[in-house]
Chains A and B, each alone.
Chain A
Amino acid sequence: MIRYSLHRALSLILSLLVASVVIFTVIEVIPGDTAAFMLGVNARPDTIAALRAELGLDQGGFARYLTWVTGMLQGDFGQSYTYRTPVAELIADRIWVSLPLALYALFLAVVIAFPAGLYAASRRGRLGDISVMGATQIGVAIPNFWFAMLMVLVFAIHLRWVSAGGFPGWDQGLGAGIKALTLPAISLALPQAAILTRVLRSSLLDMLGEDFMRTARAKGLSRRQSLWRHALRNALIPVLTIIGLQFAFLIAGGIVIEQVFFLPGLGRLIFQAISARDLIVVESVVMLLVFLIIVVNFIIDIAYAAIDPRLRARA
């Protein structure tokens, strides 16, 4: 287990390193001079040069990459060109919207998918199964931002249960924050719940055909007991893979959903940064998103090994 974890950790660090190089390189090929853009067309060349020096833009590419990466390792994401505040502060403000939203959505997706998948698998081929599968087909096909708009129309505009968007801030109380994130989280979770239900069902059905399930039934366990005790645990491996991948989509999909509900999250920050050409912010936020995704998948890899000891040997 330790050897396996070390092996995975090494590849985690490599992935992060390569990802940072890719992101930095892509942003660096950007045409145009940030300093000239910030100062406008009438700026004098020596002012531009002074600003370039202040922002550190006059250094070579490799030196700037090193400054960026070593800074990030110490929690210093650099200085925003437009806000003139540390990028770390900007991110810290907004991540408390984006991260809870993604986790809330993941929680909802799992809470919906597990009962639905177990139910469909246990009623295989019957009406209950067919209805659940039909519902998941629709769920997979609905764009989450459109579903979000429809929910705003129904719950905010017609029923007036919640506000149509915005975020009061966590200092207004946990309840208010959760209430504001509920519609966004449901709309993010719905397609993911549909996918997860399908994966769980098919994974469970694969297990039902296995010899160990027949043994379980033969030794006197009921269908339900064998399903819960033996099939579910074995079916969890593909389900965990999908949950890992889904986290990536929830983090990225949150950017779109934040636009629907006017939530002050990382998505909003990144769009403002793009239009203001605040590249250091774009660079750092993208790196943070990719970091979250890579780390979550690393955790999932380790979780596999805990669930299925066979996987450790293959490292």
Chain B
Amino acid sequence: MKKTLWIGLGLTLLFLLAAAVSLLWTPFDIESLDIRNKLRPPDAQNWLGTDHFGRDILSMVMSGARTSIAVALVAVGIGMGLGVPLGLWAAARRGAWLDEMIMRGNDLIFAFPSLVIAILITAVFGASAVNAIIAIGIFNIPVFARLSRSAALSLWQRDFILAARTCGKSAFRISYEHILPNMINLLIVQGTIQFSLGILAEAALSYIGLGAQPPVASWGRMLADAQTLVSIAPHVALAPGMAIVLMVLGLNLLGDGLRDWLDPKLRVTRA
């Protein structure tokens, strides 16, 4: 099973590297149009061909990686940053009305898929990458809140927590100093999974025009542009789509591999 971890890590690093390199250099400038060279199939000069404006698709895919990764990463950060404290708080007050409120609130957010949140936000503020981040981030909150609550609940039953309580530590300090460090592994694994879901969500949002706006390159919008061209130039649809699949596949394999590696007990029951 080690193999999946390495494949996942390799694919993930590849895209992170592509995104990082695109900050400094891409094979061609993606903001300059070259209509004479439009829709060229892949060749020695444009490795993945050119799009309907004559832009180099490899350069677009590299810059698109940056958008996808930035959106998904910040969305995971929002979900963790708000969800984990809420989950810890709910667990520390288990059974009390606060716990009940937090968990019912989470249930409610689950009824608003990130796409629906994005539609609401877009209707109010217009489409942008920031609104895509907020929409995906809000949907991540209950995921992390539920996970950290259930992990914390079982940790609270352990003897070392009892020891900490007899030392007179407050619930806040126990959550922060003892509970949180013991669930970092879980959070890393879930974070990887939410990261990959974030990439998919960002692609879907930009595909329907609710994500990053031109001239920012985005895989989802590349696919939206490719839709009417797919019959005459299939390569314009293949490259961004494959980029999404490989990036998501890499992150999922990484998540699975990390779970096996960080927690051998879970090996038996992995989905």
Q: A153-B230, A198-B271 are in contact. Are A297 and B241 (CB under 8 A)?
A: no
Instruction: Tell me the complex Cα distance, A286–B249, Å.
Output: 31
Q: A152-B230, A256-B115 are in contact. Are A142 and B245 (CB under 8 A)?
A: yes
**Does the CB pair A141–B248 fall under 8 Å?**
yes
Give the chain B neighbours of A22 by CB distance below 8 A. Answer: 108
**B253 is an interface residue with CB less than 8 A from chain A:** yes
Q: A27-B124, A146-B244, A149-B237 are in contact. Are A290 and B116 (CB under 8 A)?
A: yes
Contact with A along B119-149 (1 / 0, CB 8 A): 1111110000000000000000000000000
Q: Which residue of A lies closest to B121 (CB)?
A: A26
Residue from B112, B207, B246, B249 in contact with A259 in the complex, judged by beta carbons closer than 8 Å: B207
**A30 is an interface residue with CB less than 8 A from chain B:** yes
**A143 is an interface residue with CB less than 8 A from chain B:** yes
Give the chain B neighbours of A270 by CB distance below 8 A. Answer: 119
**A190 is an interface residue with CB less than 8 A from chain B:** no
**Does the CB pair A282–B116 fall under 8 Å?**
no
Give the chain A neighbours of B104 by CB distance below 8 A. Answer: 11, 14-15
Q: A11-B104, A149-B237, A286-B116 are in contact. Are A255 and B208 (CB under 8 A)?
A: yes
Give the chain B neighbours of A245 by CB distance below 8 A. Answer: 110
Contact with A along B95-119 (1 / 0, CB 8 A): 0000000001001101111111001
A54-91 at interface with B (beta carbon < 8 Å):
none
A116-171 at interface with B (beta carbon < 8 Å):
137-138, 140-146, 149-150, 152-153, 157
Q: Which residue of B lies closest to A289 (CB)?
A: B116
Q: Which residue of B lies closest to A238 (CB)?
A: B271
Q: Which residue of B lies closest to A26 (CB)?
A: B120
**Does the CB pair B204–A143 fall under 8 Å?**
yes
**A274 is an interface residue with CB less than 8 A from chain B:** yes
**Does the CB pair A256–B234 fall under 8 Å?**
no
Give the chain A neighbours of B45 by CB distance below 8 A. Answer: none
Contact with B along A4-26 (1 / 0, CB 8 A): 00000001001100110011001
**A234 is an interface residue with CB less than 8 A from chain B:** no
**Does the CB pair B123–A146 fall under 8 Å?**
no
Shortest beta-carbon distance, A288 to chain B, in Å? 11
**Does the CB pair A143–B244 fall under 8 Å?**
yes
Q: Which residue of A lies closest to B113 (CB)?
A: A252
**Does the CB pair A143–B208 fall under 8 Å?**
no
**A177 is an interface residue with CB less than 8 A from chain B:** no
Q: From A44-52, A100-108, A201-209, give the one contacting chain B.
A: A201-209
Report the contact-size class of chain A (Cβ under 8 Å from the partner).
Answer: 35 or more
Shortest beta-carbon distance, B67 to chain A, in Å? 15
Report the contact-size class of chain B (Cβ under 8 Å from the partner).
Answer: 35 or more
**A199 is an interface residue with CB less than 8 A from chain B:** yes
Shortest beta-carbon distance, A103 to chain B, in Å? 17
**Does the CB pair B269–A206 fall under 8 Å?**
yes
Give the chain B neighbours of A143 by CB distance below 8 A. Answer: 200, 203-204, 207, 220, 223, 241, 244-245
**B166 is an interface residue with CB less than 8 A from chain A:** no
Shortest beta-carbon distance, B78 to chain A, in Å? 17
**Does the CB pair B271–A199 fall under 8 Å?**
yes
**A271 is an interface residue with CB less than 8 A from chain B:** yes
Q: A143-B204, A145-B223 are in contact. Are A252 and B241 (CB under 8 A)?
A: no
**Does the CB pair B120–A27 fall under 8 Å?**
yes
Shortest beta-carbon distance, B256 to chain A, in Å? 8
**A2 is an interface residue with CB less than 8 A from chain B:** no
Instruction: Tell me the complex Cα distance, A64–B268, Å.
Output: 55
A194-235 at interface with B (beta carbon < 8 Å):
198-199, 201-202, 205-206, 209
**Does the CB pair B223–A138 fall under 8 Å?**
no
Q: A142-B245, A294-B111 are in contact. Are A205 and B124 (CB under 8 A)?
A: no
Instruction: Tell me the complex Cα distance, A142–B7, Å.
Output: 17
**Does the CB pair A153–B234 fall under 8 Å?**
yes
Residue from A26, A27, A271 in contact with B208 in the complex, judged by beta carbons closer than 8 Å: A271
**A304 is an interface residue with CB less than 8 A from chain B:** no
**Does the CB pair B111–A149 fall under 8 Å?**
no
**Does the CB pair B204–A201 fall under 8 Å?**
no
Give the chain A neighbours of B244 by CB distance below 8 A. Answer: 141-143, 146
Give the chain B neighbours of A14 by CB distance below 8 A. Answer: 104
Instruction: Tell me the complex Cα distance, A15–B220, Å.
Output: 33
Residue from B226, B230, B245, B269 in contact with A205 in the complex, judged by beta carbons closer than 8 Å: B269
Give the chain B neighbours of A206 by CB distance below 8 A. Answer: 269
**B218 is an interface residue with CB less than 8 A from chain A:** no
**Does the CB pair B120–A23 fall under 8 Å?**
yes
Instruction: Tell me the complex Cα distance, A30–B119, Å.
Output: 13
Instruction: Tell me the complex Cα distance, A144–B200, Å.
Output: 9
Give the chain B neighbours of A255 by CB distance below 8 A. Answer: 115, 119, 208
Residue from A19, A146, A198, A293 in contact with B241 in the complex, judged by beta carbons closer than 8 Å: A146
**Does the CB pair B124–A30 fall under 8 Å?**
yes
**Does the CB pair A290–B123 fall under 8 Å?**
no
Shortest beta-carbon distance, B45 to chain A, in Å? 26
> Can you show 27 pairs from A to B with CB atoms below 8 A apart?
A19-B111, A29-B124, A31-B124, A137-B252, A138-B245, A140-B252, A141-B196, A141-B249, A143-B203, A144-B204, A145-B207, A146-B240, A149-B226, A149-B237, A153-B231, A198-B271, A202-B269, A202-B270, A209-B268, A251-B113, A252-B114, A255-B115, A256-B204, A274-B119, A286-B116, A294-B111, A297-B111
Identify 5 new A-B residue pairs, CB closer than 8 A, beyond the known A146-B240, A252-B116, A282-B119: A11-B104, A140-B252, A198-B271, A206-B269, A289-B116
